[in-house]
Amino acid sequence: MGGLTEDMTRLHGEISALDMAREALVDALARGTKDRRNNVFRMREGFRSAHAEMAKKGEADRSATVKGIEHTVSELRRGASEMQSSFRDAQTEMAGRAESNRLAFMKGLKKSVSGMRDLFRDAHAEMAGKTRADASAFTKGVRLAVSDLKRTVAGLRQDFGVDIAGAHGAWLGVGSTGRRAAEVAERPGRSDAARSAEEEVVSDVKEDRGMRPAARGGKGKKRRQSP
């Protein structure tokens, strides 16, 4: 056999081997594709089952969570209602107690004010009575003082008049002095002190007249005869 025949035989064998390899590759690809399809189908089924299970579990968890939230909200509402009721009762009790305390305070305040007004009234009445008594005593004292002062001034005026009369009598003569003193002594309202003072003045004038010189006595006689 020649070289060409061998080459053709070898080439035919290689082509056959390549065809068989191609067919085997195609079969392998087909089997691989089928296996991948089956795997994908199973994976999708697993995903679907897992998703359904997860959705079911999530729904159950959400339902439990919602139920828990509803229970919590219900408990909070009940607690808030009880708290409001407690606050309302406490406020009502506090308002009643505050009202009673306010009424008691107002009653005590009125009583205190009434007592203070009574004390002020009594103190005012006592002070007014004392003031009237003091004013009456002061007025009486002033009147007595004025009366004494009037009497004293009257006595001083009378004494001064007696002194003037005595001086005038001494200047004119004993007789004139005696007559002036007698006239003054006969005035109504003269006190004993004034009369005694006048008598002393008259006696002093008489003594002084007895000790005077004769010439002055004559002059005095002249003056007595002149009127």
Which pLDDT belongs to residue 69?
Answer: 93
- Which tokens in the block code for residue 177? 């002095």
Which pLDDT belongs to residue 215?
Answer: 38
Which pLDDT belongs to residue 221?
Answer: 41
Residues of the chain where predicted confidence (pLDDT) is lower than 70:
1-2, 173-227
Which pLDDT belongs to residue 3?
Answer: 72
Which pLDDT belongs to residue 203?
Answer: 61
Which pLDDT belongs to residue 201?
Answer: 54
Which pLDDT belongs to residue 157?
Answer: 85
- Give the integer Cα–Cα distance in Å for 204 and 170: 9
b/e sequence 151-173, b meaning 16+ C-beta within 10 Å: eeeeeeebbeebeebbeebbebb
Any idea of the CA torsion for 69, 71, 73, 75, to the nearest 10 degrees? -150
Q: What is the pLDDT of residues 102-158, one digit of tens each?
A: 888 888 888 888 888 888 888 888 888 888 888 888 888 888 889 888 888 888 888
Which pLDDT belongs to residue 70?
Answer: 92
